[in-house]
Amino acid sequence: MRQGGPGLSSVPWRPPLTCWPRLNRGSPPPEGRARRAVVAMARVSRAMEHPRKVLHVQPSAGGLLIVSEDEEGRRFLQFGWLGASQSVVWPGFPLRLESDYTRAMVAALAFVEEPRRILVVGVGGGALPMFLRAVVPDAHIDAVDLHPEVIDVARRYFDFHEDAALHAHVADARHFMATPGPSYDVILLDAYGARGIPPSLATREFLLSTRARLAPGGVVAGNVLRFPGKWNSSMARTWKESFAQLHTFTVEESANQILVGLSDSRRRTRAELNARAEQLAREWGVAFSLRSRVAREYRESPWKGSAAKTGPK
C-alpha cells in the first residue's frame, strides 16, 4: 500500500532524530553496535546537508521502502529511514550508472567475449539490468528479486521496464539457481536487504549452485562489503573455495568490494583484460573508465610480500 501523498512528496527528507539507534547507558556498547551507531549518525549528517524530496514510502517484507529524489533529478531507493541507498538512478538515462560499485560490476563483462544470456540477482531500482539492456541489446537478461514490491517500485519510479529481451522474476534466488534452467554467460549478484546480504545467499552451497548455472567461460560477479580496515570481505574465502579463479575489485570510495568468480582455469593476461575493457567502453559509449575497474586476482592481504598473488601480468 502506498503511504504518503502530495503533502509528503513536497517535503524535503530529513530523518527524525528519534530513529537513531539506542545504545545501552552506563557501559561501553559492543563493537558491532557502536559501528552501526556511527554509520547511522553519518547517514543522518549527510541527509541534513543534502535533503531529498520523498516520493514514496511503502512497507514491504524486506523492510520499509523509501524512494527519494535530489534536486538534480537522481532517485534513490533505500530500506528504512537510516538505511544505505540500495540504488541511485537517473530515470531515462540508463548509461549513467551513479554508484561506483555498479560500474565495477559491469567491468566483469571484460572476462566474457560475447554474452548471450545475463542474470541479475537483486533488482533494486533496476540500474544494472537497464544499463545492460542498453549496452548489450542482443543479450537476453533475467532479473530476479525476492520482493514483488521492489520490482513494482522500480517500474513506477525508476523507469525499469521489461520487453522481449528483459524479464523480471519474483523468486527466491536460491530456488531460482537450483531449478533447472538455461545457462548464463554473466551472473551479477547484488541482492541486499535492510540487514545486508540474505544469509542463504552467502553460503558456499549457493555459490556452487550459481557456478553450475554458468555457461562455459562464464563469470559471476558479486557485490559484498568489507569492514573498515580489512583488505578483503569476509565473503572472499567462501568465494575462493567455490570458483576455479577469484578476482577482486575494491571500490575506493566505499566499503564495497566486487568479487569475480570464474568457472575455468584459463588465465587472462592483464593486457588482454585491459584491451577488452577499453573496447567495451568505446562500444558502450560510457563516460567512465572500465579499464581502471577491471578486477585483479584475489590476494589474502597486500602485506605477504612475494608469496602474495599479484595478478596476471
**What CATH code would you report for 100-307?**
3.40.50.150
Cβ burial, residue 233 (10 Å; 0-12/13-18/19+) = buried
Is pTM beyond 0.95? Reply is no
Residue extents of the structural domains in the chain: 6-83, 100-307
Whether the CB-CB separation of 5 and 13 falls below 8 Å is answered with no
* Per-residue confidence band for 50, with pLDDT thresholds at 50, 70 and 90: low
Select the more confidently predicted residue: 84 or 224.
Answer: 224
Spatial distance between the Cα atoms of 151 and 144, rounded to a whole number of angstroms: 9
Select the more confidently predicted residue: 20 or 295.
Answer: 295
Spatial distance between the Cα atoms of 111 and 121, rounded to a whole number of angstroms: 19
Give me the half-sphere count of Cα atoms (radius 13 Å) on the Cβ side of residue 174.
10
pLDDT digits (tens, 9 = 90+) for 246-268: 998 878 778 888 999 999 999 88
Q: Longest Cα pair distance anywhere in the chain, in angstroms?
A: 62
Owner of C-alpha cell 573498515:
228
pLDDT for the residue numbered 231: 65
Spatial distance between the Cα atoms of 105 and 46, rounded to a whole number of angstroms: 26
Residue spans of beta strands (DSSP E) within 7-110: 12-13, 52-58, 65-69, 75-79, 85-89
> Which of the residues are catalytic?
190
Determine the Cα angle at 181 with ends 177 and 183, to 5°: 85
